[in-house]
Amino acid sequence: MAHIRKRELPSGKIRWQVIRKTSGQRVTEMYGSHLEAKERCIELVGQRPSSLHSFGVLAKAYLAHEETLVETGQHERSYLEMLEGHVRNHILPDNEFSKLRCCSLGTPDVQQFLNRLITRVSAKLAMKIRITISQIFVFGAQNGYISGHPGREARVTVKNRPKAGEESHFVLPGKNALHVLLEGAKPFDKTGCQIASNCDPLFASNSDPLQVSA
């Protein structure tokens, strides 16, 4: 039977522990609110991790697992806080994704989530969230929530932009090439004949076209 205990951390933050026994071993999971701890208790009573659970449930279980690793000194709290930001601010609010049952998740579902995500956050953050999702899938596969990694082939698609200093340099065409371009750009009158261009004086001498003043 699982039960809840309130705990104040050295930092002053309040956490809620869900304490249970598995195979005779005491297992503790930490949650940020009493409501989350209560929901976890309801999930645990008479249940084992199941592919029928939603991805949101799996994500919360992963956070609880990471909280335990922080408490035992295996991971830094700053790392957990980053994961919590990814899950609570970006993954759980997307109900189209987080409400899907683990057994129903496929690569297209993950890809569609990433496609929506990239319209809301930077490419750098989207790629970090994708890594968090991959870690959740690995945890889920290890603990019976899911049988594989449906997000393995999903990608954050962004348009590549040239870095500063790497832009293509503009090369001015030669005088003859410019003359051909300008001739082709002359407007036509109603009879179909080209109207004389005012730019022709540029080619009346051997001077550089860029040095001709207006």
- Measured CA angle at 20 (ends 36, 48), to 5 deg: 75
Spatial CB neighbours of 12, under 8 Å, sequence gap ≥ 6: none
Beta strands per DSSP E along the chain:
3-8, 14-22, 25-31
Mean local confidence (pLDDT), 55-78:
90
**Residue 127 burial (10 A CB sphere; 0-12, 13-18, 19+):** middle
Lowest model confidence (mean pLDDT) among 37-51, 89-103, 110-124, 156-170: 156-170
Q: Which pLDDT value is given to residue 39?
A: 78
Distance of alpha carbon 13 from alpha carbon 10, whole angstroms: 7
Mean local confidence (pLDDT), 136-156:
90
**Is pLDDT at 76 greater than 50 in this prediction?**
yes
Share of the chain above pLDDT 90, in %: 36
Q: Which pLDDT value is given to residue 212?
A: 44
Both structure tokens of 157: 């698609």
By 3-state DSSP, what share of the chain in percent is helix, strand and coil, each rounded to 5?
Answer: 45, 10, 40
Tell me which of 179 and 109 has the higher pLDDT.
109
Q: Where are the domains of the chain?
A: 1-47, 50-158
Quote the CATH superfamily of domain 50-158. Tyrosine recombinase, N-terminal domain (1.10.150.130)
Q: Which pLDDT value is given to residue 108?
A: 95
